[in-house]
Structure 1
Amino acid sequence: MIEIQNLSKNFGSRTLWSGIDTTVNRGEMVALVGPSGSGKSTLLNCIGLLEKPSAGAVLYEGKDVTRFTRNGVRRFRRDVLGYLFQNYALIENTTVAANLEIALKPQRSRRGEFDTTVSEALERVGLAGREGDQVHQLSGGEQQRVALARLIVKRPALVLADEPTGALDHVNTTMVIDVLREMRAAGCAVVIATHSGHVRDRCDTVFALNEKSSAA
């Protein structure tokens, strides 16, 4: 699904990483590991078109996404990509349901289907009946579970997760990884940047960035 070819990222005269070559297949969950400062989040951001690599290519189904037009980038994020941010990336001044509704693709936005989808997603992450809660009143762990429910609703083909369990206890960490593995089993490709050995061990493949800023 995603093929990374000779990818490099520089900040001025500093090379964060270079010469990265790897492939992430459908139905595969990859742990992206490395010490702090090795550029795990930056690599996720380059794959997700939030940052631009300095050299190389990121191919999705044979097309270099780094060369997409603005409209192409927008469609890629809307139709293909799901992001599980470390800071949740929720709209805090609205409800849980409203945050999930924006993830629905237009063809699935009929009211009856939406109600069922949101209800099932919230039940799966342990937040059944919380549709009307204001996001800013939720704990950090609850907000991360709302973000996970948003992914379930969206049903993306590719998930990029940046330290998704960093602020969670063991029970909720296990639930997050279980859901991501269910998405993987359904054919989604999942890339997780993590420091957690528990998360790493539940992934299919490990890709390491080393402290010398190149692929390991």
Structure 2
Amino acid sequence: MIDIVSLSKNFGPRTLWSDVTTTVSKGEMLALVGPSGAGKSTLLNCIGLLDKPNSGEIRYAGKDITRFGRRDTRHFRREVLGYLFQNYALMENATITENLEIATKPKRSARGKANVVIAEALERVGLAGRGDEKIHYLSGGEQQRVALARLIVKEPALVLADEPTGALDHANATAVIDVLREMSDAGCAVIIATHDDRVRDRCDTVFAVNENSLVA
């Protein structure tokens, strides 16, 4: 699914990480761990084409995505990638349904299936029947559930999650990881930057960013 080969990232004279090499397969859930400042989020951003490494390659389907131009980058983000941000990245003045409609695949919208898909996603995250509520009235845990529903609706092949449980209570954190685990079991590759041992323990593989190594 994703091959990261000899990846390095510098900020001025500081080397954040170097020679990062690992593979994330279809259906695998990988935890990126390491101390604050180790560059977990930066590595996610490089994979998500929000940042550029200084050297190395990130290969998806045999292509080095770090060399993508604007058109290929847009296609990759639209057709392949799903991102779960710690700050949820929702339209706060819009309704839950309006936030999910953006992620609906065009073919489904054309066939009139979008409403069914959205309803199923909301039921899956425990927000059934609440599609008309505005985002800014929701708690943090509820907003993260909406962000999860958006992922379910989009059906990405690759999910990048940046500290998705960092601001959540135990129940909401468990709900988040349950859905990510289900998506992984269905064939999605999931990469999670986390400090949470509960998240780490649910993953198939652990990669220590500061040591550039897989951890048993």
Give the deviation of 1:110 after TM superposition.
Answer: 3.3
- Give the Cα separation in 1 of the matches to 2:82 and 2:49: 12
- Give the Cα separation in 2 of the matches to 1:94 and 1:197: 34
Residues 111-139 of structure 1, C-alpha deviation per residue, up to 9 Å, x if partnerless? 63111111111111111111111111111
Does the alignment pair 1:93 with 2:69?
no
Give the deviation of 1:140 after TM superposition.
Answer: 1.0
Residue in structure 1 matched with residue 178 of structure 2 by the alignment: 178
Residue in structure 1 matched with residue 108 of structure 2 by the alignment: 108
SS in 1 for 2:83: strand
Runs of 4+, deviation exceeding 2 Å: none
Give the deviation of 1:171 after TM superposition.
Answer: 1.3
Question: Mapping of 1:21-100 within 5 angstroms?
Answer: 21-100=21-100
Give the deviation of 1:175 after TM superposition.
Answer: 1.2
Question: Mapping of 1:190-209 within 5 angstroms?
Answer: 190-209=190-209
SS in 2 for 1:160: strand
Question: Mapping of 1:162-173 within 5 angstroms?
Answer: 162-173=162-173
For 2:114, give the aligned amino acid.
F
Task: Show structure 1 runs of 5+ residues with no match.
Answer: none
Name the Cα RMSD after superposition.
Answer: 0.9
Compare 160-169 and 76-85 and name the one that shifted more. Answer: 160-169
Aligned residues: 213
TM-score normalised over the length of structure 1? 0.97
SS in 2 for 1:16: strand
- Give the Cα separation in 2 of the matches to 1:165 and 1:112: 34
The share of aligned pairs that are identical, in percent, is: 72
For 1:87, give the aligned amino acid.
N
Task: Show structure 2 runs of 5+ residues with no match.
Answer: none
- Give the Cα separation in 1 of the matches to 2:61 and 2:112: 33
For 2:200, give the aligned amino acid.
R
For 2:36, give the aligned amino acid.
S
- Give the Cα separation in 1 of the matches to 2:62 and 2:90: 32
For 2:11, give the aligned amino acid.
F
Residue in structure 2 matched with residue 215 of structure 1 by the alignment: 212
SS in 2 for 1:165: coil
Residue in structure 1 matched with residue 148 of structure 2 by the alignment: 148
- Give the Cα separation in 2 of the matches to 1:185 and 1:215: 26
